[in-house]
Structure 1
Amino acid sequence: MAKRVRKTDEEIQDAVEAVINQNLSIRSVAKETGISKSLLADFVKKHINSPEGNFQYLRNISNRKTLTKDQEELLVSYLRTTSKMCHGLTTMQTRELAYQFAVANKIVTPPEWNKNNKAGIHWLHGFMNRHKELSLRQPESTSLSRTSSFNKTNTTTFFSNLEKSYKKHNFAPNMIWNLDETGCMTVTKPPKVIAVRGTKQVGQIASAERGTLTTVLFFISASGGTNPPVFIFPRVYFKENMLKGAPIGTKGMANPSGWMTEEIFVESLKHFVNHVQPTVDKKALIIMDNHATHVNLQVVDFARKNHIIILTLPPHCSHRMQPLDVAVYGPFKSRYKQAMNNWLTGNPGKPVTIYEVAEFVNPAFSESFTIGNICKSFEKTGIYPFNSNIFTDDDFLPSSITDRPDPSSLINDNSSLPSILQSKVDLTQSDNILDQPSTSSDLNSPSTSGIVNKNITKEGREELGIVSPEMVRPFPTAPPRKKNKTCGRKKGKCSVITDTPEKDELMKAEVDRKRGKKRDVKNKKKFKNGEKTMH
């Protein structure tokens, strides 16, 4: 049996006009065009009985929908925004929102919706099928520190410092470097394997329940080049056989914890200088995070003596602004796992130790640290080629939950804020994202603003009386931060730590730290002698 081809609305309209304007029979036109005789007769009847110019040739070929197309577009826009804010909705929350949205707009809902106070599962399946841009995804855990710290203020500070360094020193691409450590464990998550369909549990061999950490420090340049890595093994003393199978030129060191220390980092910089060889006329720029082992007086003194400029990233922003994290470490970790799995299957019954780590790193290093991956990582972060506008307002949406507008920016210019923050500052400019202003000054109270659909104007929605999803379920907004009076570790910042003002701050911090240590030693002696100290 031949498959029937569905006719378009234009073809049906032409057939109806042929019957009415050319006085042809419905049977003959239906036979000639291949349209169903009953369907054509129905449209001809509707055309005759309808006022002139008001009839549209649109077929009702789908099941009755609870929400209209425009209303579903509002839901899609809301779900898209919340997912970018790292507060995406689950399937159950989406069904509850759809029901509340329908009730708020006085839409007649099926009895099943009213009974369960949420939309049906069949509606959700149909909704997802109608909007292919949405899909059910497994999100990656993102800490609150990362979401709040990656904001426009921090990125603007970083790019301002970077631009000043470029203008002052005129770095060549092969002298712009990024370095960072990553952990290589002796136990990793196994890769996917082929197994029998329907098997309840599929296992894959691993050397132990918990692995041992070996830290590896990598270097990449904006020209696509690399330096041999530095390994820090969890041992008291380093032995050459720990680097068996490592990339040529690799440097090995040891620390009982397997972590980076200030002394080891200075030795790593010496390893870097031996390969890059910066000079007075050809200085090197290193971009790195502001971990305590990286930002200290020893590192600054060595860098200044060896013509190295060090620029630190904003705290908790390396997942978006550090080239190694953006486009290199992902492929590296994947290939590292594959290399370990290949070794385990080829050496049955033999556990993985730290003496095999370098052997796994070597093929993963050569396959993932390619010129294409490295150059793309610098491009995606806007470091080289320099692009201070690489991040859009959508990228800053997660930070809009906890951000507070800068008073000076509210007076001078609102265009630099993310769109959601703009709407909180100037509600008259909120046509792109927010609908109506909040009537409450309390940040914890529900907001009355909603998402604007691009296809529906503000006036049109006011005419129709549409309640937006964001009126029903406001976007998350954190309350004002509480001032913490307790003393803790000084928060890092984005800066050129090799500049004189930053060095002076480090020197002052070092003096205070030593003074505090002397005071502690003195107090301990007094306690031992039975003396009482006054605080």
Structure 2
Amino acid sequence: MVAGSLCTEKMRNYKRKTQYMPMTEDQLAAARTLIARGVSISQAAKEIGFHESTLRDRLQKGGGTKLGRFRATFSAEQEAQLLNHCIDLDKRFFGLTLKSLRFLLFKYAEENNIPHQFSVEAQLAGRDFTRTFMKRNKLSLRVPRKTSVARTMGFNRIQLTQYFNNLEAIMKKYNFSPNQIFNMDETGVQTVPNILPKHVAPTGKKEVAKAVAAEQGQTVSAVCAVSPIGYFVPPFFYIRKKKRKSASY
């Protein structure tokens, strides 16, 4: 079982060990053009950088070099359509998961009657095929940040244009200096960290613990503001469900 997995991993990441270069259709067409002009086959082979016997063989078979018996499932145009669809979904904040992409590749091949070797029972493209497709088209799996629907709807060209137009009008009207401009933002802070740093413990110990204020923390809102020249306002923390008594005022 281990040997089989190692063999699969080796073939998946196969790298060419020779400098053998296949003859493309363009090179074969260039050689035919030279021969039509009266150039000998040996001279035409030298012009395109191949041996005479190789060129004669390709002229006889009528095609360029084909490495192996496998053929690409999707054409370059079809892969471009799939790539544009993935990028468009990512721009709309509805990116595909790996399983969703595998299902998309399978359904695209099925709906367009494209011969494939995908699993009909699972209705998914293979993991290796999907990862190769992603690598070939410069796609990668990324961890997204949670974004509310209200923020996605407000983040558009019309809203941004209106915002910067208003900002420009205010700046021209009041002529604020850098020390009068502050960038304020709100964020959530956990009272108990979710990820603890590693600490030294005896080797072989099954359970390693660290004392914290509480096992389940709360989210505290923190508001911070800073100016372009480095002035800042001390952070303001808002703790929910905490009311001040009248005597504390």
TM-score class, shorter-chain normalisation, is: 0.5 to 0.7
**Residue pairs, 1:32-43, within 5 angstroms:** 33=49, 35=51, 37=53, 39-43=54-58
Q: Structure 2 CA distance, aligned partners of 1:121 and 1:36? A: 42
Superposition TM-score, scaled by structure 2 size? 0.66
The alpha-carbon deviation at position 177 of structure 1 amounts to: 1.6
The alpha-carbon deviation at position 83 of structure 1 amounts to: 1.3
1:127 aligns with 2:133: yes
**Residue pairs, 1:319-330, within 5 angstroms:** none
Residue matched to 1:489: none
Deviations 1:285-306 (A, max 9, x none): xxxxxxxxxxxxxxxxxxxxxx
User: Secondary structure, in 3 states, of the residue corresponding to 1:109?
Assistant: coil
1:165 aligns with 2:139: no
Residue matched to 2:67: 61
Residue matched to 1:226: 231
Structure 1 counterpart of 2:153, from 136, 148, 153: 148
The alpha-carbon deviation at position 146 of structure 1 amounts to: 1.8
Q: Structure 1 CA distance, aligned partners of 2:197 and 2:94? A: 29
User: Secondary structure, in 3 states, of the residue corresponding to 1:229?
Assistant: strand
> Over the residues paired in the alignment, what is the CA RMSD in angstroms?
4.2
Residue matched to 2:5: none
Whether the 8 Å CA contact 2:225–2:232 is kept in 1: the answer is yes
Residue matched to 1:91: 98
Return closer, same or farther for 1:120/1:155 CA change in 2, 3 Å cut-off: same
The alpha-carbon deviation at position 70 of structure 1 amounts to: 0.6
Whether the 8 Å CA contact 2:22–2:65 is kept in 1: the answer is no
Structure 1 counterpart of 2:242, from 246, 249, 257: 257
Gaps of 5+ in 2: 1-16, 245-249
Q: Structure 2 CA distance, aligned partners of 1:24 and 1:36? A: 7
Residue matched to 2:247: none
Return closer, same or farther for 1:36/1:118 CA change in 2, 3 Å cut-off: farther
Residue matched to 1:102: 109
Residue matched to 2:39: 22
Whether the 8 Å CA contact 2:22–2:66 is kept in 1: the answer is no
Whether the 8 Å CA contact 2:188–2:220 is kept in 1: the answer is yes
Higher relative contact order (CA 8 A, sep 6+): 1
Whether the 8 Å CA contact 1:183–1:214 is kept in 2: the answer is yes
Return closer, same or farther for 1:74/1:257 CA change in 2, 3 Å cut-off: same
Whether the 8 Å CA contact 1:182–1:217 is kept in 2: the answer is yes
**Residue pairs, 1:202-217, within 5 angstroms:** 205=210, 207-208=212-213, 209-211=215-217, 216-217=222-223
1:70 aligns with 2:77: yes
Return closer, same or farther for 1:171/1:114 CA change in 2, 3 Å cut-off: same
Q: Structure 1 CA distance, aligned partners of 2:130 and 2:212? A: 43
Q: Structure 2 CA distance, aligned partners of 1:119 and 1:185? A: 40
1:117 aligns with 2:126: no
Residue matched to 2:12: none
Q: Structure 2 CA distance, aligned partners of 1:189 and 1:70? A: 46
**Residue pairs, 1:51-450, within 5 angstroms:** 58-61=64-67, 63-110=70-117, 112-132=118-138, 134-190=139-195, 205=210, 207-208=212-213, 209-211=215-217, 216-222=222-228, 224-232=229-237, 257=242
Whether the 8 Å CA contact 1:95–1:124 is kept in 2: the answer is yes
Gaps of 5+ in 1: 48-56, 235-254, 260-535
Q: Structure 2 CA distance, aligned partners of 1:75 and 1:147? A: 24
Q: Structure 2 CA distance, aligned partners of 1:176 and 1:131? A: 43
Return closer, same or farther for 1:168/1:33 CA change in 2, 3 Å cut-off: closer
Return closer, same or farther for 1:77/1:191 CA change in 2, 3 Å cut-off: farther
User: Secondary structure, in 3 states, of the residue corresponding to 1:114?
Assistant: coil
Identity fraction in percent: 29
The alpha-carbon deviation at position 33 of structure 1 amounts to: 4.5
The alpha-carbon deviation at position 164 of structure 1 amounts to: 2.1
Q: Structure 2 CA distance, aligned partners of 1:128 and 1:219? A: 41
Q: Which amino acid aligns with 2:58?
A: F
